[in-house]
Amino acid sequence: MIYPVILSGGVGSRLWPTSRALYPKQLLPLVSEKAMLLETAMRVTGQDFADPVIVSNDEHRFIIAQQMREAGIVPLAHILEPQGRNTAPAAAAAAAYVRSRDPKGVLLILPADHHIANVGAFHDAIAKGEALAQAGKLVTFGIVPSGPETGYGYIKRGQSLSTGDAYEVERFVEKPDAATAQRYLDEGGYDWNAGIFMFRADKIIEEMEVHCPEIAACAAEAVVKGARDLDFLRLDPASFSACPSDSIDYAVMEHTKSAAVVPVDMGWSDIGSWSALWEIGEKDEAGNVLSGDVIVEDTRNCFVRAESGLAAAIGVENLVIVDTGDVLLVASKDRVQDVKKVVERVAAAGRTEHHSHKRVHRPWGYYESINEGDRHQVKHLLVYPGAALSLQMHHHRAEHWVVVKGRAEVTVGEECRVLEENESVYIPVGTTHRLANPGEEPLSIIEVQSGSYLGEDDIVRFDDVYGREVKKPAAE
C-alpha cells in the first residue's frame, strides 16, 4: 500500500501578497479553483493509495481540515508539528507513524504546493517508484529539464537499473549558475530535483538511524509521546523540537548507497514565484495571464491578478501586478524573486500584511474587517453550519451583531435565543457571550465593535469546542 505524505509547512513568501503566513500558497487556489494542497491530495486517491497523512503546523490545522472535509477526503492522520524543522524530521515522524501500522508500507513524500499538469505521467512514475521502493531503494523523482534552470538543484543519473527508466543516483548537485545549468542540459543525464520521494517506512527509518540518528530518535519519540487532539495528532513538543533541522536531501539522500532516480516529464512546477504562475497560466493573444476582474489595453506578457475590485493596466510589458485589497504589488517579471525582500521589510516595520489577510480564518469560519476608525470597527463574520465561536468576554469593547443571512443561536449572559435574518443583539462590555450556527447553511453576521481597545487579544475564553486554550487572553 502507498501512503501519501503531504508536507504542508511552508509560508510561500515569494507569492506575497496573496500568500501569507496565516494563509500560505498551498491553501490557496492559484492554478485552478481548488487549493493546491487539495489538488495534491486528489492526485493520490484511489485503490492504490491509503488515505493521506498530512503534516502541517498548528495554525493551519482547521483550514486544512475544512478543505479536506469539503472535498470528502478523510486523512489517515493529520500530524501537527510544534515548530518547523524542515523536511527530514517531518518525514521521519510520518514514517514512524506509518511503520507502527504497516512496517513495509511505502511512503510517497509530496510537497503540498506543487503543480503537475500531466497526472497520468505522474502515476506512471509512481508505479515505477513503488517497485523500486519495495526492493529497498530510496527513490527520488527527477524532472526532465526543459531549459537551463538555475532555481533548482539537479540530480545526476548513474547506472541504469534493471527495472528500466530508472537509475542509481550518482550525485545531487546544488543550484548551478547559468553556464553550468546549460552544460548540464547539453551533456544530458541531469534532472531537476523536485523534492518528491518514495521509500518503505522501515527502510527510511533504518537509513536515518545510520545517517541522521538524532532526527530518527527524536521524531520517533515525538510520535510515541504525541497526544490526540480532536482529529489531530500533536507531536510531543520537547521531543520534536530537539530534532536537528535538516532536509531529506542533506540528511539522507546525499549519503545513502540506496538512492534511485525515476526521471519523469509531467508538466511539473513548484510555483515558486509569480513568474512561474505566468509561465504555466493560460495566456491571451498578447501573452498576458489575467485573473479576477481585469481589463488590459496595449499590455503584453504581464501577469495581473485582481482579488478585490477592478484592476486595469495600460501600455505596460513584462510586469506582475497583484492587488489583494490591502496590498498592491507591482514588479518587473524578472525581479519577482526579490518579493521576499519586501516581505522582510514589512515584517521588520512591525506591520501585519506579511502575516495575515483582511479575511482571517478561524475553525468556525472567518471574519473580515470592513471599516475601522476611532473607537469602532465593523466586521463581517461567516460561521460554518454547526460551528460555534468560543464562550467569551471582552474587557474593553461592546459588540452589536446583526444577522444578514441564516439563523444564529446567541448566548448573552444567562440568556440563549435564536435570531433570524435582520434581527440583532447587543453585547455589553464584560458580558459573557457566544455565537453559534445551528442551521445547515453558512451564517453571515455584521459585527459592530465599539470601545477603548479593539485588539484581537482582548478575548477571554471560558469554553471552546475546538480545544483552544481557555480562561486567559487569546486571539479569537
pLDDT of residue 347 exceeding 90, the answer is yes
Q: CA–CA separation, 346 vs 407, rounded Å?
A: 40
Segment (H or E) for 219 = helix 213-224
**What pLDDT shows up at residue 376?**
96
Residues 6+ apart with CB under 8 A from 247: 86, 87, 88
Dmax of the chain from CA atoms? 77
Same domain, 448 and 322: no
Q: Give residue 469's pLDDT.
A: 84
Q: CA 158 to CA 247: how far, in whole Å?
A: 22
pLDDT band at 11 (very low <50, low <70, confident <90, very high): confident
* 277 three-class SS: helix
Segment 294-312, tens digit of pLDDT: 999 999 999 999 998 999 9
**Pick from 269, 287, 313: which residue ends a domain?**
269
Whether 49 and 120 share a structural domain: yes
| The one-letter amino acid at 280 | I
Query: What is the average per-residue pLDDT within 458-467?
Result: 93
Give yes or no: residues 141 and 237 share one domain: yes
Quote the CA–CA distance of 434 and 374 in Å, as a whole number: 26
SS3 of 94, please? Answer: helix
pLDDT-derived band at 472, boundaries 50, 70, 90: low
Omega of the bond leading into 17 within 30 degrees of 0 (cis)? yes
Domain-located, residue 418: yes
- 3-class DSSP state of 175: coil
In a domain, 71, yes or no: yes
pLDDT at 475 over 60: no
Given this model, what pLDDT does residue 10 score? Answer: 83
Amino acid residing at 421: E
Same domain, 187 and 238: yes
CATH code for position 230: 3.90.550.10
Q: Say if 476 falls within a structural domain.
A: no
HSE, side-chain direction, 13 A CA sphere, residue 275: 12
Final residue in a domain of this structure, among 218, 249, 269: 269
For the chain, the first-to-last Cα distance in angstroms comes to 41
Alpha carbons within 13 angstroms on the beta-carbon side of residue 447 total 21
Is residue 474 one of the residues assigned to a domain? no
Q: What is the mean pLDDT of residues 320-340?
A: 96
Together in a domain, 217 and 258:
yes
Determine the structural domain holding residue 316 and report its residue range.
275-348
CA 295 to chain centre: 30
On whether both 446 and 334 belong to a single domain, the answer is no
Does residue 101 sit within a domain?
yes
Per-residue pLDDT tens over the stretch 66-101: 999 999 999 999 999 999 999 999 999 999 999 999
Q: Is residue 354 part of a domain?
A: no
Q: Name the region of 191 (left: φ>0; alpha: ψ -120 to 50; beta: rest).
A: beta
Question: Is position 291 within any domain?
Answer: yes
In this structure, are 33 and 156 located in the same domain?
yes
Confidence of residue 166 (pLDDT cuts 50, 70, 90): very high
Residue 370 forms part of a structural domain: yes
Q: Which of 237, 269, 301 is the last residue of a domain?
A: 269
DSSP letter (8 states) at residue 20: B
> Which burial class, exposed, middle or buried, applies to 451 when counting CB atoms under 10 A from its CB (0-12, 13-18, 19+)?
middle
Q: Note whether 457 and 394 are same-domain residues.
A: yes
Which cell goes with 215? 532526527
CA angle 259, 260, 264 (to 5 degrees): 140
> Do 363 and 312 belong together in one domain?
no
254 and 402 both lie in a single domain:
no
Which residue carries 543525464 as its cell? Answer: 189
Model pTM greater than 0.85? Answer: yes
Count the domains in the chain: 3
Place of cell 449572559: 413
Instruction: Give the list of residues 6+ apart from residue 365 with CB closer than 8 angstroms, or none.
Output: 381, 382, 383, 384, 387, 442, 443
Res. 163 pLDDT band, cuts 50 70 90? low
Pairing of strands 2-8, 53-57: parallel
**Exposure of 201 by Cβ count < 10 A (0-12 exposed, 13-18 middle, 19+ buried)?**
buried
Looking at the structure, do residues 232 and 281 belong to the same domain, yes or no?
Answer: no
Give residue-wise pLDDT tens across range 109-162.
Answer: 999 999 999 999 999 999 999 999 999 999 999 999 999 999 899 999 999 997
Integer Cα distance of 59 and 306 in angstroms? 26
| Same structural domain, 341 and 438 | no
All three cell numbers of 231, joined, read 482529529
Mean pLDDT to the nearest integer, 40-48: 95
pLDDT digits (tens, 9 = 90+) for 351-407: 999 999 999 999 999 999 999 999 999 999 999 999 999 999 999 999 999 999 999
